[in-house]
Amino acid sequence: MVFPFNSVQDFQILIDEDVELFRKAVREVVENKVLPRWQEIEKTNTIPKEIFEEFAQQGFFGVGFPEEYGGQGGGQLLTAVLTEEVARAVPSLAVAIGVNHLFGIPILLFGTEEQKKKYITPIAQGKAFGAHANTEPCCGSDVAGIQSKARKVNDHYVITGRKIFISGAEKADYFIVSARTSPPTEKRWWGISVFVVERDTPGLKIGQRFNVVGMRGEQPYEVILDEVKVPAENLVGPENEGFKVIVTTYDYTRIGIAAQAVGIAQATFEAAVNYALQREAFGKRLIEFEMIIQKLADMYMKLEAARLLTYWAATLADQGRREFVIASSLAKAFATEAAEWIARQSVQIHGGVGVDEETGVVRYLRDSIITTIYEGTNEIQRLTIVRQLVRQVFGLKI
């Protein structure tokens, strides 16, 4: 046993040739169509619609969704590679892809055949967008504490509540929404249910836009639900067991956050190496100074460790291994903190140029901070890691 795993073979990362071909194809599209527009995206805080159209045409929105529902197939690993390549250029565009998965994965895992056909197909084809509305003013980490309510009335549910920090809300056609269908019992998690709500349903309103520090182009919104009536068939998973739907979704989607972080770290590391090779001070190139060499070596160590953890978590998830839950938390917490640290070092290596918005270095630092917070803060990842470890090895619940 390689505590807490069973065998050294559990540490395999399985990547076939097609994944590398796909990565190259994504890079080409991103470098030609996305990267040249990063300044426009930062300034307007909007991703141009032609970029979404291009991604739809390339089939990128279908990656990670089964072919039978209009997707391109591929699992967590392919999704991670796509996310990493996109985040390397414009991290907020990777968020836009991730949000579709936050919408689609709960339906894939817990939804009915009809829900999959109706809602995943247009998302996977890039014809519609999804969003995931769980966080509330009272509660983000504490998913079991949410206060939105849904009551069953004949053949439909009526939902009332307020959601905050909802990424992609302004362009979403469909929302995953969590709400309490029964009062809390001694099992705090019990009593929450998850629904698909269509955007044009009366009573659903997009509220204020939050002005967060990074991920410009994909700022989150408030979503207000005032007596929103949804058909009973839009319930995703069993009534009152929506907590499991939500947290199981994050087990998968946080691999995508780790991949965003790897893309950010890759971009800022490359920028730092290039700058250190070209910039001279005191008659020498920066890369010849020992303190700069040490920084670059440490940045590179963390970058590759982050990448390996991310690909490993994705491989375990694609193999259907339950242990992927620990690996995805390890990857999310490590990669996002590595990205923040690497981005900070990159700014430092660039000196004054590093903090000038026009050079595009400091934006990655701002974006990286957000990755440490959403889809389970890194404190919550640490809780998950130790809880899962103790459960897996000792069968104990803490």
Ligand X SMILES: Cc1cc2nc3c(=O)[nH]c(=O)nc-3n(C[C@H](O)[C@H](O)[C@H](O)COP(=O)(O)OP(=O)(O)OC[C@H]3O[C@@H](n4cnc5c(N)ncnc54)[C@H](O)[C@@H]3O)c2cc1C
If the CB atoms of residues 38 and 374 are measured against ligand X, the closer one turns out to be: 374
H or E stretch at 225: strand 221-231
176 near ligand X, rule: CB under 6 A: no
192-198 and 149-153: which strand pairing?
Answer: unpaired
How far apart CA 260 and CA 189 sit, in angstroms, is 29
Dist. CA 266–CA 277, nearest whole Å: 17
* 129 touches ligand X by CB under 6 A: no
Q: Taking CB under 6 A as the rule, does residue 380 contact ligand X?
A: yes
Among residues 90, 108, 133, 194, the one that binds ligand X under rule CB under 6 A: 133
Asked whether the beta carbons of 101 and 253 are under 8 A apart, the reply is yes
Q: Which is nearer to ligand X, 87 or 276 (CB)?
A: 87
Whose Cβ is closer to ligand X: residue 192's or residue 292's?
192
Rg of the chain over Cα atoms, rounded to whole angstroms, equals 21
Query: Which one of 69, 157, 165, 275 is in contact with ligand X (CB under 6 A)?
Result: 165
Judged by CB under 6 A, which of 220, 237, 256, 263 binds ligand X? Answer: 220
Q: Considering the rule CB under 6 A, would residue 83 count as an interface residue with ligand X?
A: no
94 binds ligand X, rule: CB under 6 A: no
- Please tell me what DSSP assigns to residue 395: -
Q: Smallest distance from the beta carbon of 10 to ligand X, in angstroms?
A: 28
**Any contact of residue 160 with ligand X (CB under 6 A)?**
no
Please report how close the Cβ of residue 233 comes to ligand X at its closest, in angstroms.
Answer: 23
Closest approach, Cβ 320 to ligand X, in A, equals: 26
Our finding on whether 104 is near ligand X (CB under 6 A) is no
Q: Which is nearer to ligand X, 79 or 135 (CB)?
A: 135
**Would you give the DSSP letter of residue 73?**
B
Considering only 42, 374, 384, 388, the residue that binds ligand X (CB under 6 A) is: 374
130 belongs to the binding site for ligand X (CB under 6 A): no
Q: Which stretch binds ligand X (CB under 6 A): 127-135, 181-189, 275-283, 328-336?
A: 127-135
Residues 135-154 close enough to bind ligand X by CB under 6 A = 135, 140-142
Contact 130, 102 (CB under 8 A): yes
Residue 373 in contact with ligand X, rule: CB under 6 A? yes
Task: Give ∠ CA 95-148-144 in degrees, rounded to 5.
Answer: 75
Quick check: 166 binds ligand X (CB under 6 A)?
yes
- Residues serving a catalytic function are 375
Q: Of 318 and 375, which has the nearer Cβ to ligand X?
A: 375
For residues 164 and 143, what is the distance between their CA atoms, to the nearest angstrom? Answer: 13
| Backbone φ and ψ of 397, nearest 5° | -105, 120
Based on CB atoms, which residue is closest to ligand X, 94 or 215? 215
> H helices within the chain, ranges in order?
17-29, 38-44, 49-58, 76-89, 91-110, 113-115, 121-124, 242-278, 290-318, 324-350, 362-371, 378-394
Q: Rounded to an integer, what distance in angstroms lies between the CA atom of residue 189 and that of residue 206?
A: 27
Give dist(CA 80, CA 94) in Å, integer. 10
Q: Does 167 bind ligand X (CB under 6 A)?
A: yes
Q: Residue with CB nearest ligand X? A: 140
Is residue 121 a contact point for ligand X (CB under 6 A)?
no
Amino acid residing at 47 = I
Contact between 365 and 262 (Cβ < 8 Å)? no
Closest to ligand X by CB, 99 or 265: 99
Q: Burial level of 283, CB count in 10 A (0-12/13-18/19+)? A: exposed
3-state DSSP call for residue 234?
A: helix
Min separation Cβ 164 and ligand X, Å: 7
3-state secondary structure of 133: strand
* Site residues, ligand X (CB under 6 A): 99, 132-135, 140-142, 165-167, 212, 215, 220, 370, 373-375, 377, 379-380, 383
